[in-house]
Structure 1
């Protein structure tokens, strides 16, 4: 898929829905608090929302759906579940039970659920947690091709490139979230700190340039954490392009491409870039820039809400410089978690279209579901009905947020429901703007997101999907090694001179070379077929 063709298709889609694209980074980018803007619904959109269920024939039998997804535990989850069900029950005669699992436990919990054959209906899946491609290889997800044909509005609302990365051996096993499809990277820094210490925050071109900033914070702000780190905010895992690479499949399985080459599959953990990264992180860790418990942390939202992080890694598709140039005021991504903490958001790696980002957020239907079509009806509502979508994302109006305008809200602090994950579900085109989004020119904001997608550079392997089936055993063995050693190295809590060779030896023994060879074979076949 060439850049021009991709850009035209994205722009056409954007204009037809009168929307602006926005989204996450992480992948679980917990750092990306801002939401996608939504415009007033056109008559066609309203009609699509009102007719989200394709069947008004004989009354549907009532069913209960179970929906697993990761996030930070929420005190008011039951109230939100009740509100969602009040909306969907008249439309599809179903109730959905929201099974929120803490970020850090989600991957392992879903492995157990899928392996046990538990009957459930829907689950969040991606290239980085509850591994989509592994689940397809293991037969945990139902093929959705026939069901998707019954919901043309939902299907048309998602660009072709998203469906391309969801397709394995010609079949689609999950519905992609329509969110920001390009990924640029950088960092965020508390505005008051950058101003107080006169830090040249725009001078950064690579992560190591942040060392003097972190040192200043460590010496002068004993109550702050200089650099946020958790397993879902690890730069090498979350941002391969920051190191000149792109992932093939999930980001931690051995086998990546250099962006400058795009033809030879390498073991990214044997690269000089990885050694440089873990060496830098070791230096940062020993100097106290990270929490001591960093390697075991999976969720640091409490620190974000308390304003304790001085600097954070982030997926920065548009940052402070972009908004300032457009005459918009942005309080920064940190303010999305705490309105009293404004930040400068700076991008130093330009946006790129990659397969792993297009596959970063999806929802699958379990192969064991007894109500697959009703589950698809719910997904259709989540993609086409603004009320259903925003209730799941933002909660109950007046209790969890208040309206500022037709498309803007302010969240209510300590209201009991703040998941900050509009990118995790449905179609972000339907999302309200929140306090984390820039203000002053909504139409300008819309145009910026459209232009970002229109002009994005496609990766060399955009659309390539790795099929894990031939190396299922090796993949499981490699995953075990990564769980054992990767985050200790990535956080800098162990000496890379001692533990990096052990890590590489264990990966090789687990079958990393066979996985890389299989990726090379499939990549070559994919290129030959284009």
Structure 2
């Protein structure tokens, strides 16, 4: 997930107030319906192929409210206006973009969903935004029948991505085909590595970075040695870095070891977690992290300002791979600030896990008055290059300029820079920008496509944990997690004292019950997927 996710991310940009826009114009489309509509008759070509010709005379106008996270954008309105000029002739829908800041997105969406007020489309995720929990709570509409209406959209996304978003055999969200293959490592500013002649290619694990961080701490007072936030916590974002695989979501107790896919374990009781929090405690006490690391929900402003000397990297192709392919790559840090280039090193090889294949999803609210029209818009984001890039990059000539057939340069002062093509539709449609490797645009795009399509699958790829039997325990465990986890994982508190307290709180909240249920469901899944 190249740009993210680092933000996841990233990782990257999201905040406005959230006024609910009530959608709908016609009686038929205003009817709240949580079930997918029956397929339209063959003669009703506009509902099955809305791109054929203008739709105003055949479809009644509707409003669609679309919630997604990013950093605050000054010129969101002109992006919305331009997007609607493209969308309305095709499906006669007006899209209302509701951008919420990364750090508050999950909580605000919980409020919106709990209120029962109608909205239409929302970004969600299998790992950081509780897609599976929201499905268990009935928040999203089942989409299987509607998805079948759009074979180009469906065929543009590999089957293993679709399998990763199924719950009890049904699909409740359209996965974004993006750079999902979970290789991990770190990013270091080129200027820092070159200035101090750091052997950045020698790193094989997180603890190897300690001497680099010490060099930065001693010599670069204006830089943060190691980036940490709740959106960029290595143990949550990169379980394979610790030999683990997430089942359900990374917060909830119950992971698998990559070397033993048969037994579900409490990841917070593993030697790997103890080693991690001990290392982070060392780094924190030495001043390698921000003092407020435990409460930081995202660090987009630090990334844009080039303040982080080193940071976690979810990496598909690293700097060495691009160098071997004859490409000039600015590194992932330049995604946020073109003037801050980085070396990116992958030391955990790519693996496609269920949580990464479901890492960014577009869902439709079960309470949407316009479920089918919402799917028409999602289809356009997956198949229409102009519409996709209008949302991702904004207005040509204002927010970016084209410098080649499929490459742009963004305008820093334009008021719209979200840098998140991985967040919407199908990322194969995205223009490349100044942060992407140069040398061969087609080859670069094909490199990550091939890597994802041919990724080594995890031992539990396709297994989706159903939270329904343990909904109460899940809520209690989430509360216990929030109370202490980030203080431990950022090194802000002593793990010798607080790790036993954390584990005890999880157990009292029901972690053992959740783990037993995960084991039961995993065993049943294996019995039918041999």
Please report the TM-score for the alignment, with normalisation by the length of structure 1. Answer: 0.91
| Structure 2 residue 429 is matched with structure 1 residue 430 | yes
Q: How does 1:182-221 map to 2 (within 5 A)?
A: 182-221=181-220
Task: Confirm or deny: 8 A CA contact 2:127 2:356 kept in the other structure.
Answer: no
What residue number does 2:234 align with? 235
* CA distance in 2 between partners of 1:103 and 1:243 (Å): 26
Q: Which moved more, 1:129-138 or 1:426-435?
A: 129-138
Instruction: Identify the residue that residue 439 of structure 1 maps to in structure 2.
Output: 438
CA distance in 2, matches of 1:136, 1:54: 35
1:263 partner SS: strand
The residue that corresponds to 1:501 in the other structure is 500
> What is the CA–CA distance in structure 2 between the aligned matches of 1:372 and 1:446, rounded to whole Å?
32
CA shift at 1:151, angstroms? 1.3
Structure 2 residue 326 is the aligned partner of structure 1 residue 327: yes
CA contact (8 A) 2:3 2:420 kept: no
How far apart are 1:32 and its partner, in Å? Answer: 8.8
Instruction: Find the residue that maps to 2:154 and give its secondary structure.
Output: helix
Partner residue, 1:311: 310
CA shift, 1:59, in A, is: 2.2
- 1:436-493, CA deviations, whole angstroms, 9 ceiling, x for partnerless residues? 1111122432443244235422110011011000000000101111111111111111
Q: Relative contact order (alpha carbons < 8 A, sep ≥ 6): 1 or 2 greater?
A: 1
- Counterpart-to-counterpart distance in 2, 1:426 and 1:445: 19
Distance in 1, matches of 2:65 and 2:442, equals 38
Q: How far apart are the structure 1 equivalents of 2:335 and 2:449?
A: 22
Q: 1:28 is matched with which residue: 4, 8, 21? A: 8
Residue of structure 1 in register with 2:221 after alignment: 222
Q: Are the counterparts in 2 of residues 31 and 314 from structure 1 also a CA contact under 8 Å?
A: no
TM-fit CA distance, 1:29: 3.3
**Structure 1 SS opposite 2:497:** helix
| Cα distance in 2 between the residues matched to 1:27 and 1:179 | 14
Please give the alpha-carbon distance, in whole angstroms, between the structure 1 residues aligned to 2:249 and 2:99. 23
Q: In the TM superposition, what whole-angstrom CA distance separates every residue of 1:135-163 from its partner, at most 9, and x where no partner exists? A: 11101111111211221111111111111
The corresponding residue for 2:17 is none
Q: How does 1:96-495 map to 2 (within 5 A)?
A: 96-453=95-452, 455-495=454-494
Q: Is the contact made by 2:65 and 2:98 (CA closer than 8 Å) also made in structure 1?
A: yes
Residue 302 (structure 1) shift? 0.9
Q: Gapped runs of 5+ residues in structure 1?
A: 1-20, 34-48
- CA distance in structure 2 between the aligned counterparts of 1:333 and 1:209, rounded to whole angstroms: 20
Closer, same or farther: CA 455–175 of 1 in aligned 2, 3 Å: closer
What value does the CA root-mean-square deviation take over the aligned residues?
Answer: 1.8
What 5-or-longer segments of structure 2 have no aligned partner? 14-47
SS at match of 1:123: strand
Partners in 2 of 1:134 and 1:320 — Cα distance? 37
Query: Kindly tell me: are residues 119 and 453 of structure 1, through their superposed partners in 2, closer, same or farther at Cα, counting changes over 3 Å?
Result: closer
CA 244–209 in structure 1, closer or farther in 2 if over 3 Å, else same: same
User: Would the aligned equivalents of 2:12 and 2:70 in 1 still touch at CA under 8 Å?
Assistant: no
Provide the C-alpha distance between the structure 1 equivalents of 2:50 and 2:2, rounded to a whole number of angstroms: 26
Give the ranges of 4+ consecutive aligned residues of structure 1 lying more than 3 Å apart after TM superposition. Answer: 21-27, 49-58
